Structure 1
Amino acid sequence: MSATEKAPWWQGATVYQIYPRSYRDSNGDGIGDLKGIEQKLDYIADLGVDAIWLSPVYPSPNRDFGYDVSDYCDIAPEMGTMADFDRLLKEAHERGLKVIMDQVLSHSSDQHKWFQESLLSRDNPKSDWYVWADAREDGTPPNNWLAAFGGAAWSWHPLRRQYYFHKFLKSQPKLNFHNLEVVDACMDVLRFWLDRGVDGFRLDVANSYVHDPKLTDNPPVPMEERTFLHWTHAPRLQRHIHDANTLENEWSMTRVREVMDEYDDRLAFGEFSEEPSMFGLYAGGPKRLHTGYTFDFLEDWSFRPAVFRKYYEELLKPLDNLWPCVTFSNHDITRPVTRWGGGQGDDALAKLEVTLLLTLKGTALMYQGEELGLPDVDLERKWIQDPVGDLYFPFGKGRDGCRTPMPWKANVHEAGFTTGEPWLPIPDYHRSRSAEAQEHDGASVLVHAKHVIATRKRHPALTHGDIGFVDEPDENVLTFIREGEGEKLLCLFNLGRHAATVHVPGAAHATEISCGDVSREGDVVTLAARGGAVFTL
Structure 2
Amino acid sequence: MTTTAPTAGPNAPESTPETGAPWWTSAVVYQVYPRSFADSDGDGIGDLGGIRSKLDYLAELGVDAVWLSPVYPSPQHDNGYDISDYQDIEPVFGSLAEFDLLLAEAHERGIKIVMDLVVNHTSDEHAWFQESRSSLTNPKRDWYWWRKPQADGGPPNGWGSAFSGPAWTLDPATDEYYLHLFAKQQPDLNWENPEVRQAVYSMMNWWLDRGVDGFRMDVINFIAKQVELIDGPAPATGGGSPMGAQIHDFLQEMHREVFDGRTGRHLTVGEMPGVSTDDALLFTNPARREVDMIFQFEHVGLDQGEHKFDVLPRSLPALKKSLSRWQEGLAATGWNSLYLNNHDQPRLVSRFGNDTSWRYESATLWALVLHLHRGTPYIYQGEEIGMTNVRYDSIDDYRDLESLNHYREAVDEFDLDPGTVLAGVQTMGRDNARTPMQWDASPQAGFTTGTPWLAVNPNSDTVNVAADRDSERSVFRFYQRLIALRHDSAVVALGDFALLEPDHEALYAFTRTRGEETLLVVANASDLPFTDPLPLDVSGAELVLANYPARADAAASATQTTLRPWEARLYRL
Q: TM-score, normalised by structure 1?
A: 0.91
Query: Which region of structure 1 is more displaced relative to structure 2, 25-34 or 430-439?
Result: 430-439
Q: Deviations over 1:356-404 (max 9, x none)?
A: 1211111001100000111111123332221112123325433112101
Paired with 1:112 and 1:508, the residues of 2 have a C-alpha distance of: 63
Report the AA paired with residue 545 of structure 2: I
Where do 1:207-218 residues align within 5 Å? 207-214=221-228, 215=230, 216=232
Paired with 1:441 and 1:523, the residues of 2 have a C-alpha distance of: 26
Report the AA paired with residue 469 of structure 2: E
Partner in structure 1 of residue 337 of structure 2: 325
Return the match for 1:304 from 286, 293, 316.
316
Partner in structure 2 of residue 447 of structure 1: 477
Partner in structure 2 of residue 406 of structure 1: 437
C-alpha distance 404-156 of structure 1, shift in aligned 2 (>3 A): same
Partner in structure 2 of residue 334 of structure 1: 346
Partner in structure 1 of residue 260 of structure 2: 261
Paired with 1:84 and 1:153, the residues of 2 have a C-alpha distance of: 37
User: Cα distance, 1:524 vs. partner?
Assistant: 5.6
User: Cα distance, 1:511 vs. partner?
Assistant: 2.9
Partner in structure 2 of residue 289 of structure 1: 291
**In the alignment, does 2:551 pair up with 1:515?**
no
Paired with 2:235 and 2:68, the residues of 1 have a C-alpha distance of: 33
Partner in structure 1 of residue 72 of structure 2: 58
Where do 1:121-520 residues align within 5 Å? 121-214=135-228, 215=230, 216=232, 238-240=239-241, 243=242, 245-258=243-256, 259-264=258-263, 265-277=265-277, 278-286=279-287, 287-301=289-303, 302=314, 304-313=316-325, 316-317=328-329, 320-341=332-353, 346-379=359-392, 380-393=394-407, 394-397=422-425, 398-410=429-441, 412-471=442-501, 474-484=504-514, 486-500=516-530, 501=532, 502-505=534-537, 508-516=540-548
Paired with 1:457 and 1:213, the residues of 2 have a C-alpha distance of: 45
For CA contacts below 8 A with separation 6 or more, give which structure has more relative contact order: 2
Return the match for 1:34 from 42, 48, 56.
48
Report the AA paired with residue 453 of structure 1: I
CA contact (8 A) 2:544 2:572 kept: no
CA contact (8 A) 1:506 1:523 kept: no
Report the AA paired with residue 489 of structure 1: L
Q: Deviations over 1:331-363 (max 9, x none)?
A: 001111121236668221111111112111110
Paired with 1:333 and 1:253, the residues of 2 have a C-alpha distance of: 26
Paired with 2:149 and 2:382, the residues of 1 have a C-alpha distance of: 46
Paired with 1:146 and 1:308, the residues of 2 have a C-alpha distance of: 31
**Percent of aligned pairs with the same amino acid:** 37
Query: Which region of structure 1 is more displaced relative to structure 2, 464-473 or 386-395?
Result: 464-473
Paired with 1:273 and 1:315, the residues of 2 have a C-alpha distance of: 18
Paired with 2:244 and 2:558, the residues of 1 have a C-alpha distance of: 54
User: Cα distance, 1:89 vs. partner?
Assistant: 0.5
Report the AA paired with residue 103 of structure 1: L
Query: Which region of structure 1 is more displaced relative to structure 2, 462-471 or 11-20?
Result: 462-471
User: Cα distance, 1:99 vs. partner?
Assistant: 0.8
User: Cα distance, 1:318 vs. partner?
Assistant: 5.8
User: Cα distance, 1:118 vs. partner?
Assistant: 0.2
Q: Deviations over 1:285-322 (max 9, x none)?
A: 23211111211233344251442333333675266321
Instruction: Count how many residue pairs are aligned between Structure 1 and Structure 2.
Output: 517
Paired with 1:322 and 1:184, the residues of 2 have a C-alpha distance of: 28
User: Cα distance, 1:470 vs. partner?
Assistant: 2.3
Where do 1:23-102 residues align within 5 Å? 23-102=37-116
User: Cα distance, 1:530 vs. partner?
Assistant: 1.3
Report the AA paired with residue 534 of structure 1: L
Paired with 2:122 and 2:563, the residues of 1 have a C-alpha distance of: 49
Paired with 2:106 and 2:458, the residues of 1 have a C-alpha distance of: 31
Partner in structure 2 of residue 111 of structure 1: 125
Q: Deviations over 1:486-508 (max 9, x none)?
A: 42211111223322231432555
CA contact (8 A) 1:135 1:163 kept: yes
CA contact (8 A) 2:42 2:450 kept: yes
Paired with 1:350 and 1:199, the residues of 2 have a C-alpha distance of: 30
**SS of 1:350's equivalent?**
helix
Partner in structure 1 of residue 417 of structure 2: none
Report the AA paired with residue 248 of structure 1: Q
User: Cα distance, 1:529 vs. partner?
Assistant: 1.9
User: Cα distance, 1:40 vs. partner?
Assistant: 0.2
Paired with 1:518 and 1:155, the residues of 2 have a C-alpha distance of: 61
C-alpha distance 523-351 of structure 1, shift in aligned 2 (>3 A): closer
CA contact (8 A) 1:132 1:165 kept: yes
CA contact (8 A) 2:438 2:445 kept: yes
Report the AA paired with residue 158 of structure 1: P
C-alpha distance 319-352 of structure 1, shift in aligned 2 (>3 A): closer
C-alpha distance 123-316 of structure 1, shift in aligned 2 (>3 A): farther
User: Cα distance, 1:475 vs. partner?
Assistant: 3.4
CA contact (8 A) 1:19 1:55 kept: yes
**SS of 1:115's equivalent?**
helix
C-alpha distance 314-35 of structure 1, shift in aligned 2 (>3 A): closer
User: Cα distance, 1:433 vs. partner?
Assistant: 1.1
Q: Deviations over 1:449-505 (max 9, x none)?
A: 222222332222112222112236743212211122642211111223322231432
List alignment gaps of at least 5 residues for structure 2: 1-14, 304-313, 408-421
Partner in structure 2 of residue 227 of structure 1: none
Query: Which region of structure 1 is more displaced relative to structure 2, 275-284 or 199-208?
Result: 275-284
**SS of 1:483's equivalent?**
strand
Partner in structure 2 of residue 233 of structure 1: none
C-alpha distance 8-441 of structure 1, shift in aligned 2 (>3 A): same
CA contact (8 A) 1:68 1:171 kept: yes
List alignment gaps of at least 5 residues for structure 1: 221-236
CA contact (8 A) 1:56 1:101 kept: yes
